[in-house]
Amino acid sequence: MVTTHRLSLDNIERSAKVIDPVFTGTPQFNCEPLSQALGTDVVLKVETLNPIRSFKGRGADFFMSETRETFRDQNLVCATAGNFGQAMAYVCRSNQRPLIIYSATTANAMKIERMRSMGAQVRQVGDNFDAAKEHAKAFCAETGSHFVEDGRDIAISEGAGSIAVELMENPRFDTVLVPLGNGALITGMARWIKHVSPSTKVVGVSSAFADAMFASWKSGSIVERESANTIADGIAVRTPVPEAVTDMMGIVDDVLLISEESLKQAMKLVFDKAGLVTEPAGVAGIAAILEHQSLRKSKLATVICGSNLTAEQMEMWLR
């Protein structure tokens, strides 16, 4: 069991009690038709039934509660592929704080509109997430604003860990499959899972077309890629956050890569068998079960972590 770590177990446990209840207490269950189709029992932790349709509200809300006084006199700025920006826009509106969001010109139009509708100022620059992030960091350096970085700001990861607090109330899983993007979700969850059930394996899942986090974790040093051309924008990392990679060490057992075809198949399967609309990153764990059959020997759980699809995407991937 990990005894020293950047993420605080006390904070993770506390976050589960103080995060806005609109994001917590989410359903978790074995969907029998889906399990039968997969050939193994899998418990779904469904994080899409909230105002922003993703798990990101947990970390954003805990970040705000932990830093409200610290950054009271600074403007808040973030960069996003869409879901984290929605989470920050929601909690900033609730706390009457202005927010500037940087996002790529290619970002999901529905996510952009939702962020603006919640009062955030959205600036679309660059043709990918990492380019938008660099613009955001430059703006903060020039203006003294605080750059809220998913995967680096520790309270965000601790808030995401509240998912594991709920999931592991009755630990019975051999393996928990976690979509791996910037790392806040997997580090928060893995920190708690290894505390309460050291034998449970925590396995990250990344797209083979966006494998920077996989390569960085595997090598123990930061590996950047020239592109992250995956349909799963929520896990499309080209330049990893160093702190997140370090946080994974010793608590993440493995990282698996999956194909684009498996992501599409998983979305369709979850829609058909569980009645859930999910975005590609949201079903990375299901895609891993489809592609890595050795997982089917384990008692499994995974997080369905996002469901923000445009009408066009629904027509293309779910019909």
pLDDT, one tens digit per residue, over 145-180 is: 999 999 999 999 999 999 999 999 987 899 999 999
pLDDT bucket at 3, cuts 50 / 70 / 90? low
d(CA 118, CA 87): 10
State yes or no: pLDDT of 16 exceeds 70. Answer: yes
Q: Which helix (H) or strand (E) holds 287?
A: helix 284-291
Query: How does the average pLDDT of the chain come out, rounded?
Result: 96
Percent above pLDDT 70 for the chain: 99
Q: How far apart are CA 271 and CA 158, in angstroms?
A: 30
pLDDT for 50 equals 98
What is the structure's pLDDT at 172?
A: 86
Q: Which residues make beta-bridge pairs with 99?
A: 76
Per residue in 37-78, pLDDT (tens digit) is 999 999 999 999 999 999 999 999 999 999 999 999 999 999
Q: Which of 1-5, 83-87, 89-93, 156-160 has the lowest mean pLDDT?
A: 1-5
The secondary structure of 104-170 as a DSSP string is -TTS-HHHHHHHHHTT-EEEE-SSSHHHHHHHHHHHHHHH--EEE-TTTSHHHHHHHTHHHHHHTTS
Domains of the chain: 9-54+158-318 (3.40.50.1100), 56-154 (3.40.50.1100)
Cβ(301)–Cβ(173) below 8 Å:
yes
For 158-217, the DSSP string reads HHHTHHHHHHTTS---SEEEEE-SSSHHHHHHHHHHHHH-TTSEEEEEEETTS-HHHHHH
Rounded CA separation 130/79 (Å): 8
CB atoms within 10 A of CB 142: 8
Residue 177: phi and psi, rounded to 5, are -95, 125
- Dist. CA 256–CA 161, nearest whole Å: 21
User: What is the pTM for the complete model shown?
Assistant: 0.96
pLDDT at 4: 82
The pLDDT value recorded for residue 82 is 92
Whether residue 1 is predicted with pLDDT greater than 70 in this model: the reply is no
**CA neighbours closer than 13 Å in the CB half-sphere of residue 178:** 33
216 and 207 Cβ atoms separated by less than 8 Å = no
In this predicted structure, what is the pLDDT of residue 187?
98
The tens digit of pLDDT for each residue in 268-295 reads 999 999 999 999 999 999 999 999 999 9
Around 185, how many Cα atoms within 13 Å sit in the side-chain half-sphere? 31
Residue 319 and residue 309: Cα distance in Å, rounded? 13
